[in-house]
Amino acid sequence: MIFNVRVTARASRNRIEQNGNNLKVYLTKPAADGLANAQLIDLLSRHFKIKKYQVNIKSGERARNKLVEIDAII
């Protein structure tokens, strides 16, 4: 399953808003050095109750808009 993800880094708390295949994710980590991407993978794996290796950022590693693939049946 592929999701369009809009990421907001340096938010006051971690939060996920889901609207169909679109996700809006608020992360507390800054975007520097891949910290926000690592936190995104961790947060999505906990949200969907899957392992971290099943979450893959397909495109947009250095952008706010990302394409994220979930490699599991949800």
Check pLDDT > 80 for residue 74.
no
Query: What whole-number percentage of the chain has pLDDT above 70?
Result: 99
Contact call for residues 30 and 38 (beta carbons, < 8 A): no
Domains of the chain: 2-70 (3.30.1200.10)
For residue 21, what pLDDT band results from cuts at 50, 70 and 90? confident
Average confidence (pLDDT) over 57-63: 96
Check pLDDT > 90 for residue 63.
yes
Q: To the nearest 10°, the Cα dihedral for 35, 30, 28, 46?
A: -20
- Residue 55 CB burial class (10 angstroms; 0-12, 13-18, ≥19): buried
